[in-house]
Amino acid sequence: MQKLIINGGRKLSGEVAVHGSKNASLPILAAAVLCNSEVTLLNCPKLSDTYAAMRIINHIGYKTGFEKNVAVINPTGECEYEVPDDLMREMRSSIIFLGAILGKCGRCKITFPGGCDIGARPIDMHLSSLRKMGVTINEEYGQLDCCCEKLKGAKISLSFPSVGATENIILAAVTAQGRTIIQNAAREPEIVDLVCFLRECGAEIEGEGTGTITIEGIDELYGCEYRIMPDRIVCATYMACAACAGGDIAIKCCRPHEVDSITPVFEQMGCFVHSVNDTIYFSAGKNLRSVDTIRTMVYPGFPTDAQAFIMAALCKAKGTSVFVENIFENRFQHVNGLQRMGADIRVEGKVAVIEGVNKLYGAKSAAPDLRGGAGLVAAALGAEGKSEISRIHYIDRGYENFEISLALLGADIHRSI
C-alpha cells in the first residue's frame, strides 16, 4: 500500500502552480459526451477521478486521449447506455453522466455512485428533477434504468442548491425540447465553468453563477477547445500547507477572488495574503491565532471542501476555534488522525472545537477521504518528527503530483511504494 512519508518542521518557500479544477473537469468531461464532434480540454488535471471519467467515456463507446493535461474526446458514433457498477463506484461524479447519456441516447442504465464516504450523499434531487423532464426511472436491485422518448424542458425548484443535481439538470436540459428553468441552483464557480464550456459548444444558457439558470434546449452541440478553470480548493490547500509548516510561498495560476471566503480566515490566523492578478503571495504567521466560528456553506460561503485542511492549520493556533459542518454529516473523519498528532479536538455532531496546542508530533495515520487526507498532510508538514499517511489513493483523486509540488516548495515528503 502506498504511503506518504513526511518529516515535518521544514518551512515552505518558492512557487507552486495550481492545476485545473477536478470539480469542473468532471462535469465538463461528461458534457463532452453530448457533442457531435471532437472536444479538446486544456488544463485537465491528471487525477484518478479524471481517469475514471475517461473510462466511463471509453466504455460508452467513445475514444479519448490524455497527454500533458490535454484531454481529447471524440464523442461520435453509437453510444452505449449502460454504465457498469464497477465504473459507477469509482467516484461520486459518475452520476453526472446520467444527464449526459440521457441527452445523447434517451436511455441510461446505472447503479448508485461511489465516492468519498463523507455522508449519505443521496441522489434524490437528481432523480426527481429528471422525472420532471419526462424521464421514467425503474429501480430494481440497486440498478436504475432511466428512459425517455425526448427530454422535455421543465421548471425545477431545488430544495437545496446541490452542485451535482444542478449539473445533471443542465446536462439533460441543453439538448431537451423547450426551456428549463432551475430555481435555487448551485452558484459554485465550477457550475459557471461548465456553462461556459457548453456555451462554446453552442448551448443557450443564462444565469450561471446566480440562483436561477435558464436553458433553452437546442438540437445539437458541437465540439470545441476549452481551458478548464484552476482548482480553488487546491489553491486553498497550498495556503493551509504553508500556514502549518511556516514560510512564504507564491501560488500561481489561480483565481484569487474564488477563495475570498477562505483568505480572511488565514488573515485572522495572522497570515499575510496578497494577490496580484493570478498569483497569491502567502506568508505564514509566526504565531497562529484562533479564528471566529467557521460555518461551511454553499458558495460564496466557506466551502466544506476546505474544512479539513484549515482545521489542520488551527490545531496549533493559540486559543479556541469552532467549526460547524453544515453540508455533509460525516466530514470530521480526519479528526482522529489530527488527534494522533497531538491535536486537542472535540467533536459533537456537526460541531468541532479545536483548542490550539503548542506542538504537533509526527504519527501514523490513514487518509479518511480526499480533503481529510490533504488535512493530514498539511498537519504533518508542521509536526515535529516523522509522519506516515496511508490510504493515499484518496488524495490522488484530487491532487496532481501533490508530494512532488510540496517537495519543490522545500517540504521533506516522499511517496513510499
Residue among 1, 120, 276, 417 that touches ligand UD1 (CB under 6 A): 120
Q: Tally Cβ neighbours within 10 Å of residue 89.
A: 15
Of 190 and 396, which has the nearer Cβ to ligand UD1? 190
Contact stretch for ligand UD1 (CB under 6 A) within 156-164, 221-229, 359-367, 409-417: 156-164
Q: d(Cα 268, Cα 163) in Å, to the nearest integer?
A: 29
Annotated catalytic residue, options 116, 146, 254, 271: 116
Q: d(Cα 367, Cα 232) in Å, to the nearest integer?
A: 21
Of 303 and 382, which has the nearer Cβ to ligand UD1? 303
Contact stretch for ligand UD1 (CB under 6 A) within 39-47, 104-112, 122-130, 177-185: 122-130
Burial class (CB in 10 A: 0-12, 13-18, 19+), 209: middle
Q: Which of residues 93-112 bind ligand UD1 (CB under 6 A)?
A: 93
For cell 453552442, name the residue: 202
Contacting residues for 223 by C-beta, under 8 A, at least 6 apart: 32, 35, 36, 37, 38, 39, 40, 73, 75, 201
Residue among 121, 318, 350, 414 that touches ligand UD1 (CB under 6 A): 121
Mode of pairing for the β-strands spanning 364-366 and 386-390: parallel
Contact stretch for ligand UD1 (CB under 6 A) within 74-82, 143-151, 239-247, 300-308: 300-308
Which one, of 350, 367, 250, lies nearest residue 309 by Cα? 367
Q: Shortest gap between Cβ of 154 and ligand UD1 (angstroms)?
A: 16
Q: Shortest gap between Cβ of 11 and ligand UD1 (angstroms)?
A: 30
Q: Give CA angle at 199 (193, 200), nearest 5°.
A: 95
Of 233 and 269, which has the nearer Cβ to ligand UD1? 233
Of 103 and 114, which has the nearer Cβ to ligand UD1? 114
State the alpha helices, DSSP H only, in 33-150: 48-59, 85-88, 96-105, 124-132
Residue among 90, 258, 305, 369 that touches ligand UD1 (CB under 6 A): 305
Residue among 23, 94, 307, 405 that touches ligand UD1 (CB under 6 A): 23
Burial class (CB in 10 A: 0-12, 13-18, 19+), 355: middle
Taking each helix axis from N to C end, the angle separating 163-173 and 189-200, rounded to the nearest 10 degrees, works out to: 10
Q: Shortest gap between Cβ of 26 and ligand UD1 (angstroms)?
A: 5
Of 325 and 403, which has the nearer Cβ to ligand UD1? 325
Q: Shortest gap between Cβ of 326 and ligand UD1 (angstroms)?
A: 9
Query: Are 14 and 408 within 8 A, CB to CB?
Result: yes
Residue 126 binding ligand UD1, by CB under 6 A: yes
DSSP state, residue 306: G
Residue with the closest Cβ to ligand UD1? Answer: 164
Residue 60 binding ligand UD1, by CB under 6 A: no
Which one, of 232, 241, 204, lies nearest residue 219 by Cα? 204
Residue 139 binding ligand UD1, by CB under 6 A: no
Any catalytic annotation for residue 116?
yes
Of 159 and 401, which has the nearer Cβ to ligand UD1? 159
DSSP 347-410: EETTEEEEE--S--B--EEE--SHHHHHHHHHHHHTSBSEEEEE-TTTGGGT-TTHHHHHHHTT
Q: Print the binding letters for residues 160-199 with ligand UD1: x by CB under 6 A, - otherwise.
A: x-xxxx------------------------x---------
Of 94 and 387, which has the nearer Cβ to ligand UD1? 94
Contact stretch for ligand UD1 (CB under 6 A) within 10-18, 101-109, 115-123, 350-358: 115-123
Q: Per 3-state DSSP, what percentage of the chain is helix, strand, and coil (rounded to 5)? A: 35, 30, 40
Contact stretch for ligand UD1 (CB under 6 A) within 82-90, 130-138, 157-165, 261-269: 157-165
Q: How many residues bind ligand UD1 (CB under 6 A)?
A: 23
Single-letter amino acid code for the residue at 185: A
Contacting residues for 6 by C-beta, under 8 A, at least 6 apart: 362, 377, 380, 381, 383, 386, 387, 388, 389, 411, 412, 413
Residue 328 binding ligand UD1, by CB under 6 A: yes
Query: Are 3 and 392 within 8 A, CB to CB?
Result: yes
Contact stretch for ligand UD1 (CB under 6 A) within 155-163, 249-257, 307-315, 408-416: 155-163
Of 213 and 249, which has the nearer Cβ to ligand UD1? 213
Positions in the binding site for ligand UD1 (CB under 6 A): 23, 26, 92-93, 119-126, 160, 162-165, 190, 303-305, 327-328
Active site residue ranges? 116
